[in-house]
Chain A
Amino acid sequence: MRRAASLIIGAIITALALWLLWVLQTALDMGAGPRLAEQAFAGLPTTGVSNPVTAVLLSYRGYDTLLELGVLLAALLGIWSLGVASPGFQPAGVVLSGMVRLVVPLLVLTGGYLLWVGGYAPGGAFQAGALLGAAGVVMRLAGDETAGLPGIRAQRWLIVAGVAVFVLVGLATLALGQGFLSYPQAWSKWLILAIETAATVAIGTTLAAAYVGGRPWSHAVVGGRD
């Protein structure tokens, strides 16, 4: 019965895939088609960054990135609402903990480099934040219950930092009569760097905290599950 059902589903999905492939070919055959690349390159000099992907993420479509950081925050808040974290793993042996002591600073350093390089080459806030998050994961795997994160109160400020700086910059430009997130050209580069730095910290903290998988213990003593 189950087998029959999965076969039928398989047949329907195969037909769907063939249809989609045909549609894709039709879409590609319609010619080169319009695209936004030329406009994106043309606007690049006024954005303050020379990496076009960073320009799209932080300038042209900055509002998307703002909400995306909100999604990340919402996921962690959801995880925290589910309960307290399980205790960490047992402390690592000499070899692993020695390696962790070596790898974590390297990860942080590389993260900082990626953040800076994002202005003109592949890199940027998410890549840098992912490395910081990875540093947290490595530390928790090596037995650090908190994944190297500070206490709950500091964590709360760190995870909102990305969205907060982003939205405050937006409101500031709005107050200046420029429109939401319209950076003045002279400040554009530095505003983008400020937003990206805050976003890196927030992404790194959020990913590591999500890996911990629940509210940190200190808070659990106060609250507890209801």
Chain B
Amino acid sequence: MEQLLYGGAGVILFALGLWAFLVYEPLLRKLIALNIMGSGVFHLLIAIAERGELPPDPVPHALVLTGIVVAVSATALALAMGRRLEDDSGGR
């Protein structure tokens, strides 16, 4: 039950992020939305690492760490591209 609660929260975060990504135009909102989707997936992975009495599963934890680095990298590149567009169009 607890797992469903935490994992379900991850699924809902994913859905909220997806909605915001599709509905809002500005780059910053889209990027935040993508990161929320990512957090949702990471949340789910952390939730399923926990199995009752047993010690938590380190594999999903490691996957999440890898995923975070990838998300940071992609966000940084997207922000730099957005910044470049803003500079070129005179700060629109």
A contacts B directly in the complex (CB < 8 Å)?
yes
A119 located at the interface, meaning its Cβ lies under 8 Å from any Cβ of chain B in the complex: no
B29 located at the interface, meaning its Cβ lies under 8 Å from any Cβ of chain A in the complex: no
Contact A78 B80 (CB under 8 A): yes
* Distance (whole angstroms) from the CB of B45 to the closest CB of chain A: 12
Count residues of B near A (Cβ-Cβ below 8 Å): 42
A168 located at the interface, meaning its Cβ lies under 8 Å from any Cβ of chain B in the complex: no
A71-B8 in contact given A56-B58, A57-B65 (Cβ < 8 Å): no
Contact B84 A82 (CB under 8 A): yes
B89 located at the interface, meaning its Cβ lies under 8 Å from any Cβ of chain A in the complex: no
* Distance (whole angstroms) from the CB of A151 to the closest CB of chain B: 21
Contact A37 B57 (CB under 8 A): yes
A75-B66 in contact given A24-B8, A36-B59, A213-B80 (Cβ < 8 Å): no
Contact A17 B12 (CB under 8 A): yes
How distant is the Cα of A72 from the Cα of B77 in the complex, in angstroms?
10
Contact of B55 among A9, A41, A71, A78 (CB under 8 A): A41
Contact A79 B80 (CB under 8 A): yes
How distant is the Cα of A114 from the Cα of B62 in the complex, in angstroms?
16
Contact A64 B23 (CB under 8 A): no
Nearest chain B residue, comparing its CB with the CB of A73 = B73
How distant is the Cα of A20 from the Cα of B48 in the complex, in angstroms?
15
Contact A24 B62 (CB under 8 A): no
Contact B69 A68 (CB under 8 A): yes
* Distance (whole angstroms) from the CB of A11 to the closest CB of chain B: 10
Contact of A17 among B4, B15, B74, B81 (CB under 8 A): B15
B61 located at the interface, meaning its Cβ lies under 8 Å from any Cβ of chain A in the complex: yes
Which of A's residues lie within 8 Å of B, judged by CB? 5-6, 9-10, 13-14, 16-17, 20-21, 24-25, 28, 32, 35-37, 40-41, 52-53, 55-57, 60-61, 64-65, 68-69, 71-72, 74-76, 78-79, 82-83, 124, 126, 203, 207, 210-211, 213-214
Given contacts A37-B56, A75-B76, 4 further A-B contacts (CB under 8 A): A13-B15, A53-B62, A71-B74, A82-B81
